[in-house]
Structures are given as structure tokens and as C-alpha cells.
Amino acid sequence: MIEQDGIIPIMKNGVNTFKDTLQGDVNLTVKKTSVRELRRDEFPAADKCWVDYHDTTGDPATDRIFAVFSEEHIVSLARCRRHTDGMDVDGIFTPVEERKKGYSRIAVGALVEACHNDDLYMHAVRHLIVFYKKQGFIPIEEKELPPTIRDRYIWAGGNLEGADVQPMCRKAGLFSK
């Protein structure tokens, strides 16, 4: 096992444990973990997880939702929503009790890999810009966002800094470090 993205695998008493060098001294014990795109009939499970995240819900007509499962429970989500003029990444959420385990990185990575044929846009919370840069997103000006995605934050009146968000884009294509 080798270090990847700041994660150092360690074997302790027959259990895979990981040290996240990017987050500091966080040791992770990995249970049976998997990631995949949800089927339409699984969207209610995502909605239930998102209750604590602005009551976000998924729409099978426009959304692709990626979930990380630990055992059989959703522990992280990431959504890509198709607008008429672009793909909007949002709904990235991990419940408090599951944070600091690398699950969001896995969910966003799966979304980016599956949706790599399209330019992806987002409004990133400023303290997470470094996280999203590692997934290939770059900061952009608000005017560079497709209009329907830009309009999601029209309430900010052009003051995205005051809303504590930064527009970002990930150009289509596979990403390599």
C-alpha cells in the first residue's frame, strides 16, 4: 500500500487504518466502503441524508447523485445537476459523525470521473477551495458561470465574497495530477 492524496495506509492488528496527512493526525479505520452512482429508486435515501443539509433533494430528471457507503449506510453524497447551459456540482455533504474520514473526497472523485465529459461548475464555500482544486476545479469569475448556474446565487447581488462562496470550474476531460 502506498500514500495517495495525503492518505498513508497503515495495518494495525489486521485492520486497515489510514492516516490523513492533509488533515493532520486523523486515523481512520475503514469498514467495507464503496462508492457508486445512485439509481432513481435510491434518491429518497439521499434525500433523507440531505435533510441536515438545507433540505436538499434529488431530481431523477436532472441529477446524478454519487454516494459513499460504509457497510450499507450512506456516509457521503455529491450531486451533479444538469441545467440547460451547464453542469452544476453541489449537494456535497457528509454527516457530522462521518467527517474527517475522506468520504467527501471519494464522493467528489467518483462524480468527477463519471461526469468528466462536461465542464463542471460550482459555488465552493471558500474554506474548501483547496479541497476542490485537488479535484481539478479552478477559481473563476462569477461572470464566467453559465447564466442558470450563476442565477442560483442572484440573492447575493453580485457579492459572492459576502456569501462566502467562490465560483469554480473543472474543464471537461480526465484529470491527472
Does the residue 140 lie in any domain? yes
Does the residue 177 lie in any domain? no
Same domain, 134 and 111: yes
Same domain, 15 and 92: no
Same domain, 15 and 66: no
Does the residue 175 lie in any domain? no
Same domain, 7 and 65: no
Q: How many CB atoms lie within 10 A of CB 52?
A: 11
Whether 67 and 74 have beta carbons less than 8 Å apart is answered as yes
Beta strands in the chain (DSSP E): 7-12, 15-20, 26-29, 33-37, 63-70, 73-83, 86-93, 120-125, 138-139, 165-170
The SS3 assignment for 9 reads strand
Q: How many CB atoms lie within 10 A of CB 90?
A: 19
Same domain, 26 and 36: no
Domain enclosing residue 4, as ranges = 1-30
Whether 66 and 77 have beta carbons less than 8 Å apart is answered as yes
Provide the residue-wise pLDDT of the chain in tens; the chain has 177 residues.
Answer: 444 455 554 444 444 455 555 555 555 555 789 999 999 999 999 999 999 888 899 999 999 999 999 999 999 999 999 999 999 999 999 999 999 999 999 999 999 999 999 999 999 999 999 999 999 999 999 899 999 998 877 755 565 566 788 999 999 988 655
